Structure 1
């Protein structure tokens, strides 16, 4: 690898304030904010809008669309008689 062209790869905390959850992983993203993690070390923290703790698909709160009703309404409105 060439020296000096790659970003620093380091531990970063991603936090979802809406779900009150956070996880520590490695990333090249930068942040001015820091947080003290459970191991006593201080890491940069990045706030995210949606994570697996708050996404409807992963939490089981997703809606099921009534596609059959929509198709029937379309056929009724625009179908040949």
Structure 2
């Protein structure tokens, strides 16, 4: 392997701002803040808006935007009264 081409991976604490969920993983994300973990380690802190703990897809609370029928069905209902004359 070549020297100097790989990023500097280190343990980073990611925190979900909506519910406070924290997880630690290796990352090369640049951070300005640090946090102290329960075990006493001081790690760089990276703040996130959404994680798998709060994202609707992963929590099962995702709503179907197309709940009253698909686009094709809406089109057919809209133009059902117009008949094609031969």
Using structure 1 for the length normalisation, give the TM-score: 0.83
CA deviation string 1:53-77 (max 9, x = no partner): 1101222211023252543321132
**Displacement, 1:78?**
4.2
Report the more deviating stretch, 49-58 or 67-76: 67-76
| Cα distance in 2 between the residues matched to 1:67 and 1:50 | 28
Per the alignment, residue 74 of structure 1 pairs with 75
Taking structure 1 as reference, are residues 69 and 9 closer, same or farther at Cα in structure 2, changes over 3 Å only?
closer
In structure 2, runs of 5+ residues without a counterpart are none
Count of paired positions: 81
Per the alignment, residue 41 of structure 1 pairs with 41
Q: 1:2-81 residue pairs with structure 2 within 5 A?
A: 2-64=2-64, 65-66=66-67, 68=69, 70-78=71-79, 81=83
Contact 2:14–2:45 (CA under 8 A) maintained in structure 1 = yes
Greater helix content: 1
| Cα distance in 2 between the residues matched to 1:8 and 1:66 | 47
Q: Let me know the Cα RMSD of the aligned residues.
A: 1.9
